Amino acid sequence: MISTRELTKTFEVSRTETVHAVRGISLTVEPGELVAVLGPNGAGKTTTLRMLTTLIAPTSGTAEVAGYDVVAEPSQVRRQIGYVGQGNGAGHSQRVADELAGQGVIYGLDRRAAKLRAEELLESLELKDLARRKVSELSGGQRRRLDVAMGLVHAPKLLFLDEPSTGLDPQNRANLWDHILRMRAQYEMTIVLTTHYLDEADSMAERVVVVDHGHVIADDTADALKASLAGDQLILTVAPSNHAAVRRLAGHLPGARDLAVDGDQFTVRVTHGPTALPILLGATHQLGVPVAAAQVHRPTLDDVFLNLTGRSLREAGTNGKAAA
Ligand SMILES: Nc1ncnc2c1ncn2[C@@H]1O[C@H](COP(=O)(O)OP(=O)(O)OP(=O)(O)O)[C@@H](O)[C@H]1O
Ligand SMILES: [Mg+2]
């Protein structure tokens, strides 16, 4: 459904300043996949989506979307895709139903078909009661649902969602996801989305692509990324005088690495926490070392990012800039 090779975008901001927003992204997305693109602010996510949706031209590299080249065949690409931009702005006094039907007409449906399609989407995205409201009067969550409906008007094979749930409360986020997943099943869509919510990428996407400084730095299932790049962590509360003994014992656990102490907390990374913890506790017990508390910390996608970059994704505020 998507195939890019060394896709690159450079912005010449001024004579002295060049922004390397995307630096050679090669990516393949199969039909039916749900892929989450994850990365800190300025990583190049939106720029990548804008190239794939033909809104901006790549500086170099190639991209085929739904079988068409984004540079040579942009109108064919557009017919196959839906795009819900980051903070979409249909912010005017149109009524919800008219806004949606109007979008259908833009995409080449005749008025009657556009109206029917709008009704169908209002129904399935639970916007029916709001059909006569003005777009500018909707709440953030209702508005985002309308944005998603706008992206679906022409029944695209492929839907791009740029931070669909940003700014929504947990209830509305859950609702929106519910709708997106239902739409996906109903229309057999391929979905590529960006998000800052790690838990969302973790639970919803089958595949996570991590982008940093315009590069893809990881691409796999969330589980595989967590297993290979972070690993489980055991955290034991032990008196500092016993740390040396615990360290010796922990060193023998399968996959033991990153042994560290912080105050009376001893930590070690292992291949599989739930099996390693009882082994370690058995050994400390035999040696007569008292353990005040013990826990297994299973990694999150943030741990994966930290492991890859040395920065936390929650805190990374990089702007991806580099001198020309
Ligand atoms: N039109 C533009 N002109 C100049 N620089 C741009 C332009 N669009 C994006 N950039 C720069 O390119 C880099 C990547 O931006 P992009 O919007 O792709 O990031 P992002 O990963 O979507 O970030 P966020 O998570 O904040 O949405 C940033 O440094 C940004 O300032
Ligand atoms: Mg963005």
DSSP assignment string, 184-218: HHHHT-EEEEEES-HHHHHHH-SEEEEEETTEEEE
Ligand 1 atom closest to 22 (CA): 14
Distance CA 280, CA 81 (A): 53
The average pLDDT across 102-122 equals 88
Q: How far is the CA of 74 from the centre of ligand 1 (A)?
A: 22
Q: Provide the β-strand partners of residue 192.
A: 35, 160
Q: For residue 321, what are its two tokens? A: 């800039």
**Residue from 9, 45, 197 whose mutation best tests the ligand 1 pocket (most atoms within 8 A of CB):** 45
Could you tell me the distance, in angstroms and rounded to a whole number, from the CA of residue 188 to the centre of ligand 2?
26
- Whether 61 has a pLDDT exceeding 90, the answer reads yes
pLDDT band for position 90 (50/70/90)?
low
87 pLDDT band, cuts 50/70/90, is low
For 126-151, write each residue's pLDDT tens digit: 889 999 999 888 888 888 888 888 88
Alpha helices in the chain (DSSP H): 45-52, 74-80, 96-106, 111-124, 140-152, 170-187, 198-204, 222-229, 243-250, 273-287, 301-309
* pLDDT at site 273: 92
CA 47/CA 160 separation, integer angstroms: 12
Atom nearest to 13 CA in ligand 1: 4
The residue nearest atom 30 of ligand 1, judged by CA position, is 42
Nearest C-alpha to atom 27 of ligand 1 is from which residue? Answer: 41
Q: Is the pLDDT of residue 225 over 50?
A: yes
Q: What number is the average pLDDT over the span 32-61?
A: 95
Q: Which of 3.30.70.560, 3.40.50.300, 3.40.50.2300, 3.30.750.24 would CATH assign to domain 2-226?
A: 3.40.50.300
Is 318 in contact with 215 (CB distance < 8 Å)? no
More confident site: 93 or 272: 272
Pairing of strands 158-162, 81-84: parallel
Q: Indicate if ligand 1 lies below 6 Å from the C-beta of 39.
A: yes
197 falls in which pLDDT band (50, 70, 90)? confident
Ordered by start, the domain boundaries in the chain are: 2-226, 231-298
Atom of ligand 1 nearest to the CA of 211: 21
Query: What's the CA-to-centroid distance between 47 and ligand 1, angstroms?
Result: 6
**CATH code of the domain occupying 231-298:** 3.30.70.980
In ligand 1, the atom with minimum distance to the C-alpha of 49 is 18
Residue 44 CB less than 6 A away from ligand 1 = yes
42 lines ligand 1 (CB under 6 A): yes
Ligand 1 in reach of 214 Cβ (< 6 A): no
Q: What is the C-alpha separation between 241 and 33, in angstroms, rounded?
A: 52
Q: What is the mean pLDDT of residues 276-291?
A: 96
